[in-house]
Structure 1
Amino acid sequence: MKNHYLIIIFILVLSCNKTSDKILPTEQNLTESVYSSATIQPDSLYQAYAIVAGILEKNVVEEGTLVKKGQAISQIINNTPVLNTKNAKLSLELAKENYQGSATILSGIKDEIEAAKLKYKNDSIHFFRQQNLWNQNIGSKAEFDAKELNYKLSKNNLTLLKNKYNQTKNQLNTSLKQAYNNYQTSLISTKDFTVKSAINGKVYALYKETGELVNTMEPIASIGSAGTFIIELLVDEVDIVKITQNQEVLITLDAYSGEVLQGKVSKIYPKKDTRNQTFKVEAVFINPPEIIYPGLSGEANIVISKKEKVLTIPKNYLINNNQVKTDQGLTTITTGLENMEFIEVISGITKDTYIYKPE
């Protein structure tokens, strides 16, 4: 008799357990979204580099300072560009003197051309006079040949000197232009001792202290927008195809626990980060919080789609992605939207169909 009671109690307990795992589908509003980590950064954030190497003389501003475009950030000491500028200036002056001065190379060639012209004129007179005599059978052949040779040599020499003058003039002109360009370049280098802001914004970080060595490979400062911030999102590669611009983003920041902030997708970067298999997506706040600091982190959900009053079941009641356990056994269903907890049922069961949680 005692065993009979135990069997009845066991059956009742088993029946209660099965009943507790039996539910009806429910109608509710369903939102499908893509999860992402979130980090806050200033808009237009960039790192400022020095164009010349040297020693940091001083930082003109402090971290947190508001700056204008073109305002000095840091000052660098380096005497080499100054010496290079002086040498370039001397080379420019020498090039000018060679090209334009009274005792230039061109003046010497001009004098040679004038002398060659006189000789050519004299030799041509003697040649044509001797030629007239020779045509009258007066004089010797040797004398005629000598006058002709002198005439031709004078003519060739004058042509060569004119070519030499033009070639030398072009070379000196080119040298003058090169010296001028080198001088201008050296002046730019001396101006590069001052690192300046490229935007209107705020200095968020200074990486060098007075006396430290500065090179062109390490940043001097980090500068970004003072009032506009973006939300950097890292989206898994399996979800990136679902993301489009202007989609709604729901953000929760650790600094604002329990508060849901709204934003929208503003930019999608096409290159995948192969280290973590994610894509970078940017979003902007619709109503940003009053106080924001760079580097604040949290979580975000990018809203893919929304539906109102859809038939849903808990995702943990789903079997093989498209089946549920009913009183008639395994039933195949067609699913739609889903979130972390629920999935939409399009067909296969109704709101009056009991389903059972898989064992």
Structure 2
Amino acid sequence: MKKFCILALAGLAALSSCKKEPASFKVTTQAINEAVYASGEIMPAEYEVIKAVTSEHILKILVAQGNQVQKGQVLAVLGQPSQNTQLDILDKQLRLARQNASDSSARARELRQKAVLARKQYEQDSAEAQNYRELAAEKAVPAQEARHRAIKAQASLTEYNNLQYQYRALRDDQRGNVLSVSKQLAQLRELRETNVLTSSIDGKVFSIYHTEGSTAAAGDPILLTGSAGRFKLELLVDERDIAQVKLGQKVFFETDAFAGKQFTATVSKIVPVIQKENRSFKVEAGVAGTAAFFPQSSVEANILIRQANALAIPSTFLLPGDSIWTAGAGGKVVKQKLNTGARSGPWIEIKSGLKAGDLVYEKAP
């Protein structure tokens, strides 16, 4: 239809040039397509950008660009070679700490045995002190000797209590050491697991951003994987146009990777949160067909928001201020004010001011 309209205008121009008259056009009904412009990029329908959680050295990359991958497959390993050695050391430290924290440890046995002896000594000294108190009360032994036996019994009790305290402190310290080493080991294992990068989808490796031996900063992308053969558009729509965009609307788009070709998609998702940095809304559209697109390629798109048959004239005929030269009463050419609508290719919609069959002119005769 677009080519037909352009050829028709060319024919009118040629005819009028022969008669040396302004080009004219008879108002008719045309197919009007109204669209909202959007820009963005094309991505796999399902994808993930795998990133480094912390700044890490890249030990191994186990896939190549273009490889097919499965969910759960290990793609790369980050970290330091010394981490394996650190894990071994912490494992040994934890075993030793647990042995020391058990009741069978040498230090624990020693303190328990000393406490048993100290208790026996205290019981013996306490009995003697009681005996001497009774004898002193009967004047059988000097009072000073009774006091000496009481002091000795108190010292035995203090020794027994001190050994009990040492035993409890040892147990608390050993248990705390077990917890500390266990925490260090868990953190290192978690870090190691975090640094083993796996795929969460079945698909294809589209891009590898780093090489083995390089260092990735925290948040740096390492790999891009995604579904093979299925793509979507991630578009930005201006906040002034978003109210006109609906699910299921058709999208026509072009990408520089396929210059001169037009593709279609369908609006599948509208994210209802404005992006403050550009005052736009994110819109996704599923791409029709299985063309081998290149992820992250930029696209320019038109989201079709209305299709209608309406009165239209070539946009080149419209004068500033939305008016037109047209044949008035008696055939006299006059300037007529119009109420215009959407532009569609070379056409502009006429909402009021003209009717079908009216003759309009590109300029005054």
TM-score by length of 1: 0.73
Cα distance in 1 for partners of 2:49, 2:31 equals 42
What is the aligned partner in structure 1 of residue 302 from structure 2? 301
Q: Distance in 1 between matches of 2:268 and 2:314?
A: 29
2:250 is equivalent to residue 248 of structure 1: yes
Q: CA deviation at 1:34?
A: 0.7
Q: Is structure 2 residue 33 aligned with structure 1 residue 31?
A: yes
Equivalent AA in structure 2 for residue 292 of structure 1 = F
- The whole-number CA distance in structure 1 between the counterparts of 2:324 and 2:164 is 102
Relative to structure 1, the CA distance from residue 296 to residue 54 in structure 2 (aligned partners, 3 Å threshold; closer, same or farther) is closer
Letter of the 1:264 counterpart: V
> In 1, Cα distance between the equivalents of 2:109 and 2:311?
100
Q: What is the aligned-residue RMSD (CA, Å)?
A: 4.1
What secondary structure sits across from 2:275 in the alignment? strand
Query: Could you say which residue in structure 2 is the equivalent of 1:239?
Result: 241
Matched residue SS, 2:117: helix
User: What residue number does 1:288 align with?
Assistant: 289
- Is residue 268 of structure 2 the alignment partner of residue 265 of structure 1? yes
Instruction: Kindly state the Cα deviation for residue 200 of structure 1 after the two structures are TM-superposed.
Output: 1.8
- Over residues 115-165 of structure 1, what are the superposed CA-to-partner deviations in whole Å (9 max), with x where a residue is unaligned? 221132123323333444566676555444444444444444434433432
| Cα distance in 2 between the residues matched to 1:51 and 1:73 | 17
Q: TM-score, normalised by structure 2?
A: 0.72
Any conservation in 1 of the 2:248–2:267 contact (CA below 8 Å)?
yes
Q: What's the secondary structure of 1:272's corresponding residue? A: coil
Query: SS of 1:36's equivalent?
Result: strand
| Secondary structure of the structure 1 residue equivalent to 2:302 | strand
Query: Which letter does structure 1 place at the counterpart of 2:264?
Result: L
- How far residue 87 of structure 1 moved from its aligned partner, in angstroms, is 2.2
Q: Displacement, 1:110?
A: 1.4
* 1:48 to partner: Cα distance: 4.7
Residues 71 and 332 (structure 1), Cα distance of their counterparts in 2 relative to 1, 3 Å cut: closer
Tell me how far 1:91 sits from its aligned partner. Answer: 1.8
SS at match of 2:201: coil
* Residue number in structure 2 paired with 1:213: 214
Give percent identity, aligned residues only: 24
**Counterpart contact for 1:324–1:330, Cα < 8 Å:** yes
Go from structure 1 to structure 2 and tell me whether the alpha carbon gap of 1:357 and 1:176 turns closer, same or farther (over 3 Å shift): same
Deviation at 1:264, TM superposition (A): 2.0
CA contact (8 A) 2:239 2:281 kept: yes
Q: Which stretches in structure 1 are left out of the alignment for 5+ residues? A: 1-12
CA contact (8 A) 1:39 1:232 kept: yes
Q: Which residue of 2 aligns with 1:116?
A: 118
> Is the 8 Å Cα contact of residues 325 and 360 (structure 2) preserved in structure 1?
yes
Q: Which residue of 1 aligns with 2:66?
A: 64
Residue correspondence of structure 1 range 124-143 to structure 2 within 5 A:
124-133=126-135, 141-143=143-145
> Would the alpha carbon gap of residues 290 and 221 (structure 1) be closer, same or farther in structure 2, given more than 3 Å must change?
closer
**Partners in 1 of 2:122 and 2:116 — Cα distance?**
10
Would the alpha carbon gap of residues 288 and 55 (structure 1) be closer, same or farther in structure 2, given more than 3 Å must change?
Answer: closer
State the 1:92 CA deviation: 1.8
* 1:8-28: CA deviation from partner (whole Å, max 9, x where unpaired): xxxxx9x986x646x665444
- 2:173 matched to 1:171? yes
Alpha-carbon distance in structure 1 between the residues aligned to 2:303 and 2:344: 11
Q: Which amino acid aligns with 1:282?
A: E
Hey, what's the Cα distance between the residues in 2 that align with 1:194 and 1:329? 74
C-alpha deviation, 1:338, in angstroms: 5.3
Pair 93,291 (structure 1): closer, same or farther in 2 beyond 3 Å:
closer
Deviations 1:76-133 (A, max 9, x none): 6943112212321332233123212744332232123212211321233233334445
| Cα distance in 2, alignment partners of residues 188 and 48 from structure 1 | 16
User: Residues 1-359 of structure 1 correspond to what in structure 2 (within 5 A)?
Assistant: 20=23, 26-42=28-44, 43-49=46-52, 53-54=56-57, 56=59, 59-74=61-76, 78-100=80-102, 102-133=104-135, 141-187=143-189, 195-209=197-211, 212-217=213-218, 218-253=220-255, 255=258, 257-268=260-271, 270-272=273-275, 274=277, 278-285=280-287, 287-306=288-307, 308-312=308-312, 317=318, 319-320=320-321, 331=337, 333=339, 339=344, 342=347, 344-346=349-351, 350-351=355-356
- Taking the aligned partners of 2:310 and 2:160, their CA distance within structure 1 comes to 102
Q: Is the 8 A contact 2:49 2:222 kept in 1?
A: no
Q: 1:257 to 1:45 in 2, by over 3 A?
A: farther
Work out whether residues 62 and 74 of structure 2, in 8 Å CA contact, stay in contact via their aligned partners in 1: yes
Unaligned runs of 5+ in 2: 1-16, 329-333
Residues in 2 aligned to 1:318 and 1:137: alpha-carbon distance in whole angstroms:
137
The 1-side partners of 2:133 and 2:51 are apart by 82
CA distance, structure 2, for counterparts of residue 159 and residue 129 of structure 1: 23
Distance 1:179 1:244 in 2: 57
Aligned residues: 337
Which residue does the alignment assign to 2:3?
none
